[in-house]
Structure 1
Amino acid sequence: MSDKETLLSMGFDAARVEWALRATKNAGLQPAMDHILAHNDESVPTAEELAEEHGEEANIPDVGEAKSIKCSECGKTFRSQATASFHAEKSGHTDFEESTEEIKPLTAEEKAAKLTHLKDLLAAKRAAQFKEDEKASRANEALRRKAGQDQGRIKEEMEAKELERDAARKRADKIADQKARAAVKAQIESDKRERAAKAAAEKAAREGRPPPGPTAADAPPKPSAMAAGKSSEAPQTRLQIRLHVGGAPLIKTFPSTSTLVDVAEFVSSENLAYSVDTVKFSMTFPRKVFGPNDMHKSLKDNGLTPSAVLMANV
């Protein structure tokens, strides 16, 4: 609703509304209302006076002796063409006629009551707008805080995941490096045995003796011994590890699929005197020393399941 329509809906005379709007140069509802209140007891200038005041040509409608305008459709009368046009816009009525009926001007009490009503409406409008602005401000602040919290949480989660990935990469690199070094050492030991066997065979050939057979250390384990070692298919293996350097034995339960390399890593993490690369394991019963090839076998394949006692040597 425009400022003019709002003032007309309050019952103010259209000429006084036009005067206020022209005098304030359509600066808004509040300046127009202030003008009406300030000049309430003054007579409204004529069209010629208004035009002369603003340097315009007068535009006076020729209404003859008519004192009002009447709507033929609903019978309402209006003081001016402006109020009749406002009624036409709101009601959709199009049939109007001039009337000699004179509309009595508002009394001082009626004007004061309408002015009070207008002030109340403006105050209520300002209060409603203030509440809407305050509500919107609170909603915007809540959205801003939530966005900041979400960004902080996402950043923390990303940092935590990156740390987890770094730790996993380091563990994988460490295990791969240990396995590679163990494989190289196993290959060196195998090459040593092959060279020793070749040298022994060449020496026997020079001396006219048959080549020596494989030693007990080189012979594969007997089926009966392996069968005795694999006395259980338990998914877990409990190990008691006695340290050669002294101290209380280490006790831990491993998955039966773990290797002696995993056990070596555990021992080195518990006692700094041991290194993953140099620690060696043995058993007293049955008597057995685990070689480099055994380090990559599972605990079950090494006959340690479901439980065993190991000696850890530096």
Structure 2
Amino acid sequence: MSDKDVLLSMGFDAGRLTPLVGALKATGNRGLQPAMDHILENEGKPVPDLSGVTANSSSSGGGGGGDVPMDEDDDEDAAALRAVYGGSTASATAAAAADVEAKSIKCSQCGKIFKNTALVNYHAEKSGHDQFEESLEEVKPLTEEEKKQKLEELRLKMAEKRAVKQKETAKEDKANEAIRRKAGRDMNDLREELKHKELIKEAENKRREKVEDQKARAAIKAQIEADKKARAEKAAREKALREGNTYVESSSAAASSAAPAAAAASNVAGKDYPHTRLQIRLASGGQPYTTTLSSDATLREVAEFLAGQVLAVDVETVNFAQHFPRKVFSHADFSRTLKELGLTPSAVLIAS
């Protein structure tokens, strides 16, 4: 790069470059840096007119007798101009005096030239280059063939980008589909597991209810047998009294007959049942009403249920009784729970 290009890239006015010859001379031709310092120091001074140098150079070249002689300083200036710009003194002076105008911007790092600053900014953003200078090279307009070639290159690049994008999209879609399928399988497995657990729980509840029903039936059967024996003992005792005979009750027989019923009843009453199944029959007849209540529900809740089914039943006046074992519940029992009244896990009540 010439001294002139360096000074232009640094922002010096092209009109101030002509005094470079004098600056080089004034600094003893020690190089560009001292000459540049000399120009900066004399920035405010007018630019010297070197037209005389040109004239003298021309006269000297022609060898005419009427020419103005060139002094020693003019010879040194002309020689410096020739050394900087090359060629004859006249051409060097004309080049220095010409209005120098940059026609493009050049990247100092890769050598590419650009027509305007917008292209420079785009190049800097894409490449990361940050060193640019003005250039006298002119960016020639593209020919039709070059335009077609550039357009074809852009089309190929766009097609490649679309192909890469399609591949990436297809890959992402495939990965997302695999994730979705795995999530669906996991969800189905979870549903099947929950369903299996529900079936096991339901089967266990049915088995437990069946066992409880069997125990309840055994207890009721034992109570019926005990009631039969008690009625037989009562009938025998009344018959003996009518005939005037003395009847001696067999306590061992009564105890032995009541033992199975008591044992069965104690086994049933000793269990903690969360729910109680009730069958309520009206003393006046009609269809029975069946319901399942919590074992902690009170007898008043049973009355309220029956009142909701039968309009003729009043909660405050209805009475409940149980045949086996024979038991009548008063209104004082309405605040007691079904568990406390021994009605779990199932019972038959007569409402009147």
Q: TM-score, length-normalised on structure 1? A: 0.38
Point out which structure has higher relative CO (alpha carbons under 8 A, 6+ apart).
1
Give the greater-gyration-radius structure (CA).
Answer: 2
Q: TM-score, length-normalised on structure 2? A: 0.34
